[in-house]
Every structure is written in C-alpha cells, then in structure tokens.
Structure 1
C-alpha cells in the first residue's frame, strides 16, 4: 500500500512538472491589447497551479490566480495609454514571455468575400498600397477558415506586424480602416480578421439563438449547400468567433449580405440577431459598423439585392450601429467591386466620429426620415441632407397607390427636401433607387449617396 501511495505521488508530480501554463493563440508576440481598459487574460495550466502575470508598464503589481479543477484560469489586466512596445510575463510551472506588444485600438473585421478581399486578389491602387504598408503600429490576426459543431476554445494563428508581405494577404478594407485610424488617432491599431467568402449570416450566429427563434431557424433551412463554404447554422461562429471571446475589442466591422439575397425577406431578423448575440456573448454593447452591400445585377426577376440594402438601412435602428454607403463605389456586373479604399476609410470616419469624437465631417449618405403628401405633391425629408443634390436627371423616385404599381416620377429639391409630383390622387407608397443594379443619384454635401428605400406615405 505504501508503494502504491509513492507511485501515485510520483505520478501526480510528473503531471504537474509537464502541465505548463499555456495561452490561447490570440495572446502572442506582436499582439495589440485594447488600451485604457480592463482586459481579460485567460489560459490553462495544471489544476491548482498558481499563475502570476507581470505587465512591463506596471511591474510592481503582480496579478495572481490559481488554475481551477478544469485546468482553466483567468485574470483581469488594467491597460494604459502608452504608445511604446510593452511585454507580458506569465509564471506558473513554466515562464511565458510575450514581447513587442502594443496597447491601442482592437477591431474585429468579419463577414464574407468583400471583407475578405485582399490587395493580392486585385484592387484599385493595389501596388501602391502594398508598397506603402510599412506602419508597424498596425497589427493583424488572421483567423483561419474552419468550422465546428460546438464552440471551440482556441485558434491556430498568431499576430503579425504590418508589412508589404503581410498586408497584401489581409482584408484590404480592414487595412485601410486601420491605416486611417492609426494616422488620425496616433495610436496602434490591431485588426482581427475572421471572414469567409460566400457565407450567409446564419453560420456566424451562435446555436442557442436558433433554439429561441423559429423565424431564424426557418431561414437557415433555406440556405443552399455550396462548394465554397458551410451552410450549417453556427458552424463559423463555433470555430472562428467563439474562441475569441472575451478578448477585449473596441468594436466590429462587418461586410456581408450578398449570400443572404435568396432569404432577403428574413434578413432583418437574421442580421439583428447576429449583432445582438455577439454583444451578448462578449457582454459588451460595442459599436457594430457594417457596409451596405453594393449595387449588383442579381437578375431582373427579383428585388433581392435592393431588399438587403433596405434592410441594412432599417437595422440602423439598433443602438450603436453605423452603416457605410457603397452605392457609388460598386460594380454593377461584379459582386466584388475593386475600389476598397473608400469603403475602409468610410468605416474609419464613422468610428472617428461616433466612437472617438475626432471627426467633424459628414459620415452618412442621406437617409429617409419622413414622407408626407400635400395636395398633389409628395415631400420627402432626409437626415444627413446638407446641400442635397441630384447627380443626374434619372427618374429614380417612384410612387404607387394602394395596389403598389409604381410609376417613376421626376424629383426636385427645395430646402434640402425632395419634392415629387404625385401621378395618383391617393398616393400610398414611395421608393428610391429600387433596383438591384443601380447607382443612386441623390447625394449630400459629403458626396455620399442616399440609401435605397421603400416606405409608406403619411
């Protein structure tokens, strides 16, 4: 019996000797941690192992915790605003030293192919952009494409320093966002890129959301099986988002919707659920900024594309959201428009104004606010309508009666409002730029296009 006890003790000692403290891959050399925040740091070790964390900017205060019986540990680290590279040291049965760490702004860029599109894939100004990608205060964390049936704990990836070699294979839109943000704020910027071309929103939503929402479940059953990616609910979330939580982020950049055009009628519920579920998982009402899908010829027999654009406009009713206008930078015959820099910079302008309060210009195109009839005229009011103007005389406004048979009408602008002459005695509906493939002709002082819309007349 005595010998058995000795063997057990030796066995447990050997386990402790090799069960070193470890970290998920999101914590690595070259990473960016959210500045001026309480940042959660977590990892694994041997049960009962004492873990110590020392941050170079506050080396006098050692954070200490003990690994639980599930081999997990967690600490909360207070970050500062230093712009110099810092380091982190973890001590357990072993020692981990993370170097060249920056404290700055961390954003998650996600969605499908237009967010994934890189300079190496071809875009306007690609060679110049790649050559000039030398700001080492920009860092990338590229999440590999993987799926899983249940939420995963880790990702096989590491942080990379911006360079012509690394930038050209990362999201071009996210890069241009980071480039402008770090220039205007003079702080490091880290971008986590988690995207997959051709994916619908449903695959990015956690599975429990489907248990509570029959409409969401029904929309997921209509997703076609494609050769380029998954269509199973939650599969991308499980492998490409869940392992990131609760890594502290400043907000989310999202560009997606093209693959949901066949389910355009349910996209408002789907997209709203995605936003709210991510915020719930992070326990953080962070900014969620998204690009409106660009005009594209989805066919003449449907309104799927413009319905998605209109839905994205409507989702702005959710708090702390913002929408990038893309109506003027698309390609009607290419679902992957190559003019990525304006989109990235418009994302940055929204963040600079809404989150950082460092931009005074207009960030949105005209958005319909109200529509009412006065005798034989229809008067449309817009937000973001300073110096409203029409770029051409195309009849992009349409009016209909209760039968919803629309007729194109001429538009005039007076006092930054659009005035239409009704062709009907009792007009009931009005819509604008209501085609899948159309470049809007209504703009404001910032030369940003108005969003497509359809609404009733008061």
Structure 2
C-alpha cells in the first residue's frame, strides 16, 4: 500500500499544474512579424518539455521549462501569408488557428489613439466604417489597467477587422493599416493598441527609468492626481506594455502629449520613453508620433505650443523617429480632432517611405532648419521646403532681439526660404512661428503639408 501511495503521489505531482500556458498575445487570429525570428513564451511545469510546430514549414522546435516554470522559444517566420496553424505541446496541446504572418505595429498613447468611430459623436470619416471588411487587418486592443509592479500577462484577444470591430477599435490605427496595405499589397497588418485617455507619458515607461533621472523624477513628482486615470510613474507600462515586451513588432505609433501640457521637459520625457522601449525590445524600431493639435489650453501661458515644439525637437534627439503635423485638419476648440483618416495616412506614409522604402512622395511638412541675419533681415530655412507657400495674409512669424521681447514680423518667401523684417527689431536674434496654443500653421510645402511651430529662443 505504501508503494502504491508513492506511485499515486508521483503521478499527481507530475500531472498537477501540468498544462502549458500561453500569454493572451499568443492566440487565435494573431499576426506574427514576417521574415523574423519571433519569440514565443509561456509557462509549464519545471523541466517540462515544450514543443512548437508550425504549419508553414512543419519544423519542430523544442525547449524545457526552467525551475521558475517559464519557457521561451525562437521561431523563424516566412514572408507574409496565411492562415497558418501553430501547435504547442507539453503535457497538453494547444493549437492556434488562423495565424497570419505580416507587419505588427504597437499603437499607444492617450485618447486620440484610443478614439474609435464609436467615440462620442463619431469621427469625421464615418463613411469608412461600412467598408472595413478586411480580414487581413487584426486588432489586439488592450483594456485599461494599472499596476504598481510589472505584469507578465493581460486580458485581451485578437479581433478580425470587420465594420463592427473597426467601429470599436482605434480609428487612427485602422487608417494607418489600411494605407499600408495600399502599397504593401496583400500583407497582413497586426495592430496592438495600448492606449488610455488623459494619461501623461510618465505612466508609460519603467519607473526606474524615471527615478534614476533627477529631471524626470521631479517632473513626475509634480503630476497631480486626476479622476480619469493614473499619474504615478509606470502604472500603465507595468500592466499594458510590459506584458508585450518581446513580441516582435515592426515599429511603434504614439499619439499623446495633451496630458503633459505645462511640462517644460517633455522633449526629454518622450525621448526617454522611446529609448526605454527600444532597450527592452533590443531593437531600434521606428517610432512615429503625432504632434498634438492646437487647442484652447488658456491664453495666459504657452503650455500647448511648448509641447508641440518639444515634440519637434525629439526628431533631433532620437534617430529613426518621425512626426506628423495635423493642425491643418483640426480645430482649436476640439481636443479630439475628428479627422483620424488623415492622421493614419500621414503616419503610414512615414512608415512607407522611411521604413518600407516603397513610397517616393513627400511625407513631411516644412521643418525648421536654421536662421541667418543680414542688415536687420532674418532668413529662415526649412527642410522639406520645396514649393514653400503661405495661405492667407497673416504672418505668424515673430522676431526678437537680445531682450527676447517678440514682435510680429512681416514675411516674404524667396527661393524656398522666408525673409522676416520688423521695424521694432533692429538687431534680430530670435525667431518663433505659430507661437500660441491655438495657432494653426499657415506655411505649407508643395505636398500641402503644414510647417511645425518652432522657436529658436530655447
């Protein structure tokens, strides 16, 4: 009897908690990054053998769970295609169905990334909802969740794009994917959407990244609690980003900044967030973001325009980044611009030109390059300045001398640069453009893309 009891105990010990478990990321309908070595991971009994077999080549991959009950495997993916099946075996077997191979993008930020066609009064592009039957676009939309400590998993699932699922998903992300597919014919696109309206950037990066930097730590400590979401460092990162780390992506899209209006160090904050994500993924993936639109944040400060300028400055701080300016398709009385199609298209055009190298069009508006002074005149030079033109009669340029008191300047376009003059400034030293929270750019290039606000004062 004692021998039989031992046998029964060993059998129970071997079979208890024996099931291989996968994070929710690895589930039916998912999209895996093409032509890559993608990481699978999960949990199993310590020392349990785990095998993965893929239908695209029949190859068998093996590993064993560690004494921490964790395992991971690197799987080679082919060029785009599908649907495929993937079998994961331990003491049990999990079969994942309808798997596509294509391009995966992480889409994060606050409400303007989260915003769907169902949001409030809807988006400007509601006529697109009924056309959204596209089974090769997939959404993995993460519900809002916060945690004091980094999490290993979250609750979400992959959805096939239909008019109904598109209506509940990020509109900007959808139009990004749709535009990608116009050039990347037949290539599936997976959209991992992790966004939370009204949240500052500090909650989207690891806490230690903030605490070890005195400037960022001070900025984080100055954030005031709000009703609609966390403001403590890393709370959304821990619950909504950390469980994704390691899942191979082509790049990231970011639409955030409104909740950081008033921060004097947002350029450092955003740059640090970008670097922290790339460090965790071990990859300098493209990071494309949307400059916030002009809005009525108040007339007694420059908080909104300072964030826009900080976002512009990040382009020079972090490589492989891109920014789209959208103040020509927004209104200053709405913090949620309704035209999400233009936003998605402009983000996609950045990716098509800079990452995929298959689009020849102009994807950026005029970006401030430098200035020069000559006999009381100021010359302002831009990148992407071909076909430089202004709309309307008002000049949005201001110049100042050593005293940094700014005056309106007359502007004149010549040879794709702009000449500024003011009778009130004899020796100009500083220039700023569209320098108000509500001011929309009126300088464009031949692609009809607007210039970003800027100042040379700091």
Please give the TM-score of this superposition, normalised by the length of structure 2.
0.97
1:82-101 matched pairs, under 5 angstroms: 82-101=80-99
- Please name the residue that 2:218 is paired with: 218
8 Å CA contact retained: 1:371, 1:456: no
1:453 counterpart residue number: 454
The Cα offsets for residues 10-63 of structure 1, whole Å up to 9 and x where unpaired, read as 33432432411111000000000000000000011111111110000110x210
Distance 1:314 1:197 in 2: 24
The 8 Å contact of residues 250 and 286 in structure 1, kept in 2 or not, is answered as yes
Residue of structure 2 equivalent to 1:303: 302
CA displacement at 1:167 relative to structure 2: 0.6
Provide the C-alpha distance between the structure 1 equivalents of 2:11 and 2:312, rounded to a whole number of angstroms. 60
2:117 to 116, 119, 132: 119
- The 5-angstrom pairing of residues 79-228 of structure 1 reads 79-121=77-119, 122-186=121-185, 187-228=187-228
**Alpha-carbon deviation of 1:314?**
0.3
Query: 1:301-350: per-residue Cα shift (whole Å, max 9, x none)?
Result: 01000000000000001100000111211120111111110000000000
- Give 1:355 deviation, angstroms: 0.3
* Distance of 1:21 and 1:84 partners within structure 2: 25
**Deviation (angstroms), 1:7:** 4.3
Q: Is the 8 A contact 1:120 1:126 kept in 2?
A: no
> 1:138·1:182 contact (CA, 8 Å) conserved in 2?
no
The residue aligned with 2:401 is 401
TM-score (ref. length: structure 1): 0.97
User: SS of 2:42's equivalent?
Assistant: strand
1:6 Cα deviation from its structure 2 partner = 5.8
Could you tell me how far apart the structure 1 residues matched to 2:10 and 2:434 are?
A: 70
**Partner SS for 2:138:** strand
Q: Note the C-alpha offset of 1:224.
A: 1.3
Which residue is 2:237 aligned to?
A: 237
Shift of 1:125: 4.2
Secondary structure of the corresponding residue to residue 328 of structure 1: helix
CA distance in 2, matches of 1:456, 1:144: 41
Question: Distance in 2 between the 1:190 and 1:123 partners?
Answer: 23
Equivalent of 1:63, from 50, 61, 64?
61
Does the Cα contact within 8 Å between 2:39 and 2:73 map onto a contact in 1?
yes
Q: Deviations over 1:377-415 (max 9, x none)?
A: 111110000100001111200000111110001110000
Q: What is the SS of the residue equivalent to 2:350?
A: helix
Question: In the alignment, which residue of structure 2 is the partner of 1:74?
Answer: 72
CA change 1:350–1:55 in 2 (3 A) is same
Over the residues paired in the alignment, what is the CA RMSD in angstroms? Answer: 1.4
1:230 to partner: Cα distance: 0.4
Q: What residue ranges of structure 2 are gaps of 5+ in the alignment?
A: none
Shift of 1:456: 5.1
* Contact 1:123-1:339 within 8 A present in 2 as well: no
Structure 1 residue 8: deviation in Å?
Answer: 5.4
